[in-house]
Amino acid sequence: MAERVFDIRRQTGFTTIAIACFAMLYMPIILLVIYSFNAGTSIAIWEGASWRWYVSAWNNEQVQEATLRSLIIAVWASGISTTVAVLAALATTRTRRFRGQTAVFALINQPLMVPEIVTAVALLIFFAMIKVATGYTGLAYLIIAHSAFCIPFAYLPIRARLQGMDLSLEQAAADLYATPFQVFRRVTLPQLWPGILAGAMLAFVISLDDVVITEFVKSAGQDTLPTYMLGQLRRVVTPEINAISTVLLSISVTMVIAFTLLSKIRK
């Protein structure tokens, strides 16, 4: 008698439970998107379809300033964290194993393991000391904080890409007297770019959506789009928040899809 292979999809109630889980996860998001087109001022009572709140958000100067600030921080944080992640990935995959390598890997991924609120409080205390000593209260603190937090998100896809690459081409280039930099520029980098782009986009999305670290680190007048939305939710909630959330959702989904496609590219 042939042995039956266990398949979770054939278990009683699997389909029902899966549908219920997906409904609980995505129904609130679907409702948020639908009510972003509500013509009325309520977020719970449908009063007809309209682009009113998208136009309102587009013309809102506070939203414009917060959006521009969010994009500036996200671009800088993505660039810095991706650069550091590339160097860290090369140092942990293109060298012989060394004592403490596991500790280094854990240190790089520390923001993923430590609760974000703990990281935010630590950064608040650290930057507060620097602000008192220097008097500087600019965006650099947010850029540094976001960069540090985004490093593991950029590092993991880059490291995974490096581990999946064939070393023979790099070894052949070294045998032909290419310097380490030439090997990286002409052999490693052309194969690594999908991982770098994937890591950069993931870091960009994480920075763009961050609330906790931004709320603790920012100075007065430095609201990003997520913290602006949080502030509005404490006052008056209108479908304008739904419209902004829908735009952020669209950006995040687009970036994640692009990240997934780039991660599957093989050369």
What confidence tens digit (pLDDT) does each residue in 84-135 have? 999 888 888 877 777 777 788 888 888 888 888 998 999 999 999 999 999 8
Instruction: Supply the pLDDT for residue 1.
Output: 46
pLDDT: is 174 or 204 the higher one?
204
Percent of the chain with pLDDT over 90: 23
Q: What distances in angstroms separate CA 99 from CA 64, 156, 160, 189, one per listed residue? A: 50, 21, 21, 27
User: What number is the average pLDDT over the span 195-224?
Assistant: 89
Task: Give the chain's domain count.
Answer: 1
Q: What distances in angstroms separate CA 208 from CA 15, 142, 205, 259, one per listed residue? A: 35, 12, 5, 15
pTM here is: 0.82
Is 3 inside a domain boundary?
A: no
Instruction: Supply the pLDDT for residue 213.
Output: 93
User: What number is the average pLDDT over the span 155-184?
Assistant: 81
Q: Looking at the DSSP assignment, which residues form a beta bridge with residue 49?
A: 38
User: What number is the average pLDDT over the span 179-192?
Assistant: 81
Is 18 inside a domain boundary?
A: no
Is 206 inside a domain boundary?
A: yes
**Residues 32/250, Cβ–Cβ less than 8 Å:** no
Is 172 inside a domain boundary?
A: yes
User: What number is the average pLDDT over the span 206-234?
Assistant: 88
Is 185 inside a domain boundary?
A: yes
Full domain range(s) for residue 255: 61-263
User: What number is the average pLDDT over the span 168-176?
Assistant: 78
**Would the pLDDT of 266 be above 70?**
no
What confidence tens digit (pLDDT) does each residue in 234-257 have? 777 778 888 888 888 888 888 778
User: In which band, very low, low, confident or very high, does the pLDDT at 4 lie, cut at 50, 70 and 90?
Assistant: low
Mean pLDDT, the chain, as a whole number? 85
Is 17 inside a domain boundary?
A: no
Dihedral over Cα of 220, 222, 227, 231: its sign = positive
Is 254 inside a domain boundary?
A: yes
Q: Which CATH number characterizes residue 80's domain?
A: 1.10.3720.10
Percent of the chain with pLDDT over 70: 95
Is 20 inside a domain boundary?
A: no
**Would the pLDDT of 267 be above 60?**
no
CA 139 to chain centre: 19
**Would the pLDDT of 76 be above 90?**
yes
Q: Which of 39-43, 65-69, 167-171, 174-178 has the highest mean pLDDT?
A: 65-69
**Would the pLDDT of 7 be above 90?**
no
| Nearest Cα to Cα of residue 225 among 71, 73, 66 | 66
Three-state secondary-structure class, residue 5: coil
Longest dimension (CA), the chain: 79
